């Protein structure tokens, strides 16, 4: 079983990748997307979103980090894919799943699931441009509004030479509402021979097992569940119990120090609140803290609240 940490824009940044891979259980991380429009991007764009490129394309725990690209122009995506691997990315991931309105409006992310031929052109251009030793993976949803093109899209991506395909088992219209339709992944598996990775609604070990059974996939990708239970990968892989709340608080303090130092506190308040919105799904204690936290905007006030909780 391979466990992949999903790309989550504005949430799973390099600091979160450091924290979660340090806890362990992940075989691969995918970055937040690098937006490609009509130019070859400078190296600083890649290293800002993926500073792991400066340390051999891995987190400090040794987990490989693959750069994800988002765009609609095959040629420009191919050129930027080459730059990313030259900078140290151990492969390329292509985003065909982002549901954000702004992204879809500019013909990126999940809206491309309406255009099977474009999916093929993008994957083929990137695969042809990137040296064979590097993986070229893709991430999709089951469709945009419905599943009418699900099998065609998966077959096109496989035919274009993708190394593997991660499938978030919902349409763009479904958003993040449960359930995830894992049996659809099994249908796709009957049509393509490349490795598939199942994604969506995996919050604990029981759901991971059910997902594997229904999708007929051993490999899984963890997103929001990894934020709700920081040791989810080890909970699934080694049957570890959920990380105790005091340990989660210590992790939050450690993350706070990194995040404030890294971004000079610019995004810290929003990111820690976002993390708490997931933690409260797993930990009742987080709900109480979140009710106080959401009223705070200054880093020092948030840190004081966390320290107060830790001292209890």
Residues designated as active site: 98
Q: Number of H helices and number of E strands within the chain?
A: 14, 8
| Distance set, CA 212 to CA 193, 196, 215, 219, 224 (Å) | 17, 11, 5, 8, 18
Contact 136, 81 (CB under 8 A): yes
Residues 6+ apart with CB under 8 A from 76: 36, 37, 38, 39, 40
291 class by beta-carbon count within 10 Å (0-12 exposed, 13-18 middle, 19+ buried): exposed
Helix, strand, coil: what percent of the chain each, to 5?
50, 15, 35
Q: 123: number of CA atoms within 13 Å, CB side?
A: 30
In sequence order, the β-bridge partners of residue 164 are 137
Contact 34, 7 (CB under 8 A): no
| Distance set, CA 156 to CA 63, 94, 170 (Å) | 30, 14, 19
Contact 53, 31 (CB under 8 A): no
Give the Cα-Cα-Cα angle 254, 255, 260 (nearest 5 degrees).
105
DSSP 263: H
Contact 256, 268 (CB under 8 A): yes
3-state secondary structure (DSSP) of residue 68: strand
How far separated are the first and last CA of the chain, in Å rounded?
39
Report the residue count for the chain: 312
């Amino acid at each position: 079983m391979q466990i992949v940490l999903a790309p989550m824009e504005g949430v799973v940044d390099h600091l979160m990748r450091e924290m979660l891979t340090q806890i362990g259980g992940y075989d691969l991380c995918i970055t937040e997307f690098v937006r490609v429009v009509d130019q070859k991007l400078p190296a600083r764009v890649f290293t800002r979103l993926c500073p792991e490129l400066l340390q051999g394309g891995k987190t400090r725990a040794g987990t490989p980090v693959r750069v994800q690209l988002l765009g609609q122009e095959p040629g420009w995506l191919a050129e930027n894919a080459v730059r990313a691997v030259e900078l140290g990315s151990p492969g390329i991931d292509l985003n065909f799943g982002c549901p954000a309105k702004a992204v879809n409006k500019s013909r990126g992310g999940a809206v491309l699931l309406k255009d099977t031929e474009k999916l093929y052109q993008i994957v083929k251009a990137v695969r042809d441009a990137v040296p064979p030793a590097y993986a070229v993976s893709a991430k999709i949803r089951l469709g945009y509004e419905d599943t009418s093109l699900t099998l065609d899209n998966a077959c096109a991506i496989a035919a274009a030479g993708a190394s593997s395909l991660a499938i978030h088992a919902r349409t763009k219209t479904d958003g993040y509402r449960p359930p995830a339709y894992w049996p659809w992944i099994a249908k796709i598996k009957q049509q393509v021979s490349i490795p598939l990775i199942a994604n969506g609604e995996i919050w604990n070990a029981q759901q991971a097992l059910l997902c594997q059974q229904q999708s007929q996939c051993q490999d899984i990708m963890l997103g929001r569940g990894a934020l709700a239970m920081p040791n989810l990968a080890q909970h699934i892989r080694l049957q570890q119990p959920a990380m105790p709340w005091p340990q989660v608080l210590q992790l939050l303090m450690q993350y706070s120090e990194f995040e404030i130092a890294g971004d000079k506190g610019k995004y810290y308040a929003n990111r820690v609140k976002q993390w708490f919105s997931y933690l409260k799904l797993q930990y009742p204690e987080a709900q109480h803290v979140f009710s106080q936290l959401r009223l705070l905007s200054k880093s020092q006030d948030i840190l004081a609240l966390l320290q107060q909780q830790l001292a209890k």
